[in-house]
Structure 1
Amino acid sequence: MDKIADLVVVADPDLDVQAGFQRLFGAQMKVVCFSESDPALVFLKKNHGTAVVFTCFNLPGRGGTAFLRTAETIVPLATRVMLTRETSAEAIKKTINEGHAFLYLEKPCQQGDLKSAMEAALYHHRQLAKERALLERTLAGSVKLLIDMMALFHPDAFRRTGTVRKQALKLAKQLDMKKTWELEMAVMLSPIGEALLPKQILARYRAARSLTEQERDILDRAPVQTRDLLKNIPQLEKVSEYLYLSGRGFNGSGFPKDGPVGEDIPMVARIIKLLTDLWYASPDSGPDAAAFEALAINRRKYDPKLLALAMTVLVDDLPESRKKHVAQCHIRSLRPGDILLDDALTESNHELVLSRGHTLTPTTIRRLEHFHQASGVRQPLLVERHEVEKVVKEPV
């Protein structure tokens, strides 16, 4: 597979500068040039993998410093470089302090100096990317542990995360989403606000019973609780905002009342809105035509393209090729790696012990054993199991 070329954005009205970048770097990397700030920012919003951003101080539009500051919020891992004839102390101070530029180069810039600057900028970008990836892996592991712990105490709230996460990744693949970390974190953390709600309100809501104005207000504010809990955690600022908007309908309905409409709603929030409602409308076996018919009644609440894609990708989510791996097992026969296809419920009062979609671990199997000893668990359980061939070592 060919290595993907580094993407460099140049925002400078000087056509000679643009031609120079293409001539020097066009063969080794992808160089995209703009003469004004706003078209460049639109491009950055669609290309989050940008490695380096070059600009000049007097950039038409919002100016070079403001452009770099905005670019930082859109592509925080891109190295920012100012290339300009402005050499005043005030210009340099604004570039460094406000634009957070990594390098400040004076025009005219010798080819050797520009190549050295590009090399340093790319190295800086790659180091930032490595640190971000390490932080994301560490944070993802911590969030997974948190969710597993909370699911033990609030199984009804977190029962959908395993199923919805798989569905979200299928949609992301079809949408060609290059990075899915924020989407996965948003799905895993989406039930937090719900888990904090009084159980009697949740029970009435799930049973489609009428709520008082006060109860409705408490229910509507669940996304606010989620955002307030997550917004101060590094790397989860965007996730908290996506979850805050995940109850917002594509047509402007839902919470918050003054929120964005249509495609102004972030894609992650639109995906969570659709998949959460789909989960509640689906049978235990997964989404079917009837579930999508239920969503179609209020189709204006959903991104029409996303809804059509989900109907194509997610219906009959358990294909024939997987059905041969489905088995009915008693608790004593469960193995780590088995995936629950039905909710595990207590024998007497049908209390939820562990929700469908969970990949079993030694800890969750022990939890099922303890519940079975105390209250009894309905058996057998329907699981998906992929046999692992034993590797037999030959004698040396």
Structure 2
Amino acid sequence: MNNRVLFIDDDERILAGFRRNLHGSFEVDTAVGPEAGLAKVRESPAYAVVVSDLRMPGMDGVAVLSKVREMRPETVRVMLTGFADLEAAIGAVNEGNIFRFLTKPCETSYLVGALTAAVEQYRLVMAERELLEGTLRGSLRMLSEVLSLLRPEIYGRISRIAPYVRPLSRLCGDPSPWQTEAAAMLCQMGFIILPDAVISRVERGRTLSAEDAATYRQHAEVAAKLVANIPRMGGVAKAIAYQEKNFDGTGFPQDAVRGKELPVGARILRVLLDFDRLVSAGAAKAEAYKTIKQGAGLYDPDVVVAFGEVLGEEGKYVIVPVAVKSLRDNMILAEDMFVTRGGQQLKVLPKGYALSSVSLAHIAKLARYDPVTDPVKVIVPSGD
């Protein structure tokens, strides 16, 4: 369990006392002054609790804990001060959402009790978040599985971009990476309303007529509205809504949002989706990335640079042939998979598809009646 506690104070002697008295009860870290404290919150692994003195030069504890809340909303915040005035307490609670307000000098036993309660509060917050995220991921996986059955070619795109989402979110400093992962899973849901002819033209990189272009533009809006009906999915819906929006503000939806105002998830999807379209159209990955880099105004330059780093990590994966009976969840197809029926080959799943329990059951059912590609080439980590 995380019991890391950061104390922020401008008096080194007080900080030394905290380290001495609380050592063994908590994993104590200290920072001299507000700037050093905020730097540790930003750069270090998450703290369960941050305790800040109220009166410090340059920035008071209310402002410090408000910034802590912005950077690490799950971290529990405690105010400690020798000036126990009501106005300061009210300001701290209202502006920083403080868990406890303690006065100096504070007896060690009382401080230990307060910090123990704060760590428990952190545990409850994290448990609730893990439950929420787990429930949402399960629901989203179900929706994406439905899409995989209705539009396997489109789901293939989702499967191909999925491995890039998490590392790219991390490099881009995404504050809500799970939302971006969810947006990537559901960003193509709106394709269910598009005619096959429009999808075919888009996938082949063909120029769309004005009427087809207007129809195509509806897919992001439709997907965003569907997702917005799920509680606490507003951020995911917004990322989906802006997935086709250019960094310079052009594209759709046609509004004033541009640049860093666009959700980071939308900026990540903009790069990944166009990259996959280029690769699917026949471009080598290096060539596709070069095209992305040259797309001035289309993409967030920071996301493009980070994506280059992610692509450099792909050398850690290899392509190997695997017998159909040995296929497992999360293996990624390195080639199209076919079934032979009536003398004709019919595509079952596309290259780049991430296998799941549903698709594996579907493959097993097909294999009972007709020959399927066996073995099939899949992408696995090079250490496997």
TM-score greater than 0.5 by the shorter chain: yes
**1:159/1:355 contact within 8 Å kept:** yes
Residue 355 (structure 1) aligns with: 350
**2:247/2:300 contact within 8 Å kept:** yes
Residue 238 (structure 2) aligns with: 241
Q: CA deviation at 1:153?
A: 1.4
After superposition, the C-alpha distances for 1:145-201 in whole angstroms (9 at most, x for unaligned) are 221122111223322122211133454576798985344323222222344445454
- Letter of the aligned partner of 1:101 in structure 2? I
Do residues 340 (structure 1) and 357 (structure 2) align? no
**1:204/1:211 contact within 8 Å kept:** no
**1:334/1:365 contact within 8 Å kept:** no
Do residues 261 (structure 1) and 259 (structure 2) align? yes
- Residue identity over aligned pairs, in percent, reads 23
Q: 2:267 and 2:214 mapped to 1: Cα distance? A: 22
Q: CA deviation at 1:109?
A: 3.5
User: What are the residue-to-residue correspondences of 1:152-163 with 2, within 5 Å?
Assistant: 152-163=149-160
Q: 1:30 and 1:138 mapped to 2: Cα distance? A: 34
Do residues 272 (structure 1) and 265 (structure 2) align? no
Q: Give me the CA root mean square deviation.
A: 4.6
Q: CA deviation at 1:234?
A: 4.7
Q: What TM-score, normalized to structure 1?
A: 0.70
**1:48/1:74 contact within 8 Å kept:** no
Change (3 A) 1:185 1:377: farther
After superposition, the C-alpha distances for 1:35-92 in whole angstroms (9 at most, x for unaligned) are 48xx97787566682432345678899986677566545422111223343443x765
Residue 166 (structure 1) aligns with: 163
Residue 28 (structure 2) aligns with: 29
Change (3 A) 1:80 1:196: farther
User: What are the residue-to-residue correspondences of 1:76-91 with 2, within 5 Å?
Assistant: 76-84=73-81, 85-88=83-86
Change (3 A) 1:229 1:357: same
**2:77/2:98 contact within 8 Å kept:** yes
- Letter of the aligned partner of 1:31 in structure 2? T
User: What are the residue-to-residue correspondences of 1:76-225 with 2, within 5 Å?
Assistant: 76-84=73-81, 85-88=83-86, 95-96=92-93, 99-171=96-168, 180-206=177-203, 207-212=205-210, 216-225=213-222
Q: How many residues are aligned here?
A: 368
Change (3 A) 1:362 1:177: closer
Which sections of structure 1, spanning at least 5 residues, go unmatched?
387-396
Residue 362 (structure 2) aligns with: 367
- Letter of the aligned partner of 2:268 in structure 1? I
**1:9/1:50 contact within 8 Å kept:** no
Deviates more, 1:232-241 or 1:289-298: 232-241
Which sections of structure 2, spanning at least 5 residues, go unmatched?
none
SS at 2:318 equivalent: helix
Deviates more, 1:344-353 or 1:185-194: 344-353
Q: What TM-score, normalized to structure 2?
A: 0.72
Q: CA deviation at 1:281?
A: 0.7
Change (3 A) 1:177 1:74: closer
Change (3 A) 1:123 1:133: same
Change (3 A) 1:365 1:241: same
